[in-house]
Amino acid sequence: MSVQHDVRNFTQEAFTRWLEDHNVAAYRADQILRWVYHRNICSFSHMTDLSKDLREWLFGQLVISRLEPTQVLGSVDGSKKYLFRLEDGHHIESVLIPERNHWTLCVSSQVGCAMGCKFCLTGRSGLLRDLEPAEIVNQVCAVKDDLPHGKPLTNIVFMGMGEPLANYDSVIQAIGTITGNNGLQFSNRRITVSTAGLAPRIEDLGRDITVNLAVSLNAADNKTRNRLMPINRTYPMEELLSACGRFPLLSRRRITFEYVLMAGVNDRPEDAKRLAKILRPLRAKINLIPFNPFEGTPFKTPSEAAICAFQKILLDRHYTAIIRRSKGEDIHAACGQLRARKALGMVPPQRGRQAGA
């Protein structure tokens, strides 16, 4: 029995070649992909500009995958968290974040994560596997279907479960589909890829595709970062920041450095001053993220006074430094929390909506 290929796992070029190899005209690729991505049609029987014989043949050769959330939780602040069950039984999460006039979607790129960051719940379970391009794209498609009327999904951030640059090929292909004319037609300027610090891949990313870059930094010296983020022992801060300096930036764009503030660990005034110094050669902006506690963590959220003092030091040195307050705390929106609760049997298996979803 032949294996059925997933249309969403093809690039447009590869799909065109596949059809031609099976004696189907190349232009059919454009038709099919527009049905799949522009109209969100997942059945060949509904593709009325294809002949009946072709539709029947395609049905026997290809599948068009989709993700259905097993759980959707709505927060009082408007954010929504989606738990998706994959075909092999694993679960991933996506988070929809309300902005002033639009929505931002945070997507996952792996099941689990191998980076082992000490302040991140996802890393505690280790890496189970990479996501396929279709599984990344399908998060976007599923959430677009669930958007409230009037606020479009315009921004996508690869800041969910996993290290995007460790699943490099699939992430690049998924972005190509998300931004492609026969794909989901998102602007490259609205796509952000975050990394824990895979320095060589930062240069690859800048060469292979145009997106925004975010770096999860979280410390201003190697000793502290080694403690928080094991990847720093392989690619220390000097190497990481050097790679950032070579990353091509669009006009008036800057690299976003994410800095999770943890009380007594990296939130002192001297940490802020050191951070301002090491980022000076770069076009940088800084997102300050007060730590979002989870069960069993040794880290604590700093006081409001410490958070504001840290920000002021950066502002006084002419940085854009924004305090990013956690959203969706009532729905466990931090990475890995909902999936972990599912694994522990703390989330009901049926689709559920709570807190005004």
Do both 245 and 338 map to the same domain? Answer: yes
Quote the crossing angle between the two packed helices 237-245 and 199-208, to the nearest 10°. Answer: 10
Do both 94 and 228 map to the same domain? Answer: yes
Write out the residue range of the structural domain in which residue 55 sits.
Answer: 5-63
Model confidence over 151-192: pLDDT tens digits?
789 999 999 999 999 999 999 999 999 999 999 999 999 999
> Residue 92 and residue 14: Cα distance in Å, rounded?
27
Do both 247 and 126 map to the same domain? Answer: yes
pLDDT of res. 100 = 81
Active site residue 87: no
Active site residue 132: no
Do both 170 and 259 map to the same domain? Answer: yes
pLDDT of res. 340 = 53
> Residue 164 and residue 102: Cα distance in Å, rounded?
24
> Residue 188 and residue 96: Cα distance in Å, rounded?
19
CATH at residue 48: 1.10.150.530
pLDDT of res. 336 = 52
β 321-323/284-290 pair status: parallel
Choose one of 63, 89, 111: the last residue of a domain: 63
> Residue 7 and residue 169: Cα distance in Å, rounded?
17
- 189 within domain boundaries: yes
- 314 within domain boundaries: yes
> Residue 235 and residue 60: Cα distance in Å, rounded?
47
Cα distances from 40 to residues 145, 172, 209, 257, in angstroms, run: 9, 21, 25, 35
pLDDT of res. 148 = 77
Backbone angles phi, psi at 278, to 5 degrees: -75, -25
Do both 89 and 236 map to the same domain? Answer: yes
DSSP for 217-231? ---SSHHHHHHH-TH
Do both 57 and 165 map to the same domain? Answer: no
- 68 within domain boundaries: no
- 351 within domain boundaries: no
Tally of domains within the chain: 2
CA 288 and chain centroid, separation: 18
Do both 85 and 184 map to the same domain? Answer: yes
Name the catalytic one among 113, 117, 244, 335.
Answer: 335
> Residue 165 and residue 130: Cα distance in Å, rounded?
11
Do both 48 and 178 map to the same domain? Answer: no
Q: Which of 340, 165, 318, 325 is nearest to 254 (CA)?
A: 318
Q: Which residues of the chain have pLDDT under 70?
A: 1-2, 327-357
**Residues 158 and 194 sit within 8 Å (Cβ to Cβ):** yes
**CB neighbour list of residue 96: distance below 8 Å, 6 or more residues apart:** 79, 80, 81, 82, 103, 104, 105, 106, 143, 146, 147, 153
Do both 133 and 238 map to the same domain? Answer: yes
Do both 24 and 144 map to the same domain? Answer: no
pLDDT of res. 354 = 32
> Residue 276 and residue 170: Cα distance in Å, rounded?
34
Q: How far apart are the first and last CA of the chain?
A: 43
Name the catalytic one among 56, 93, 239, 304.
Answer: 93
CATH at residue 153: 3.20.20.70
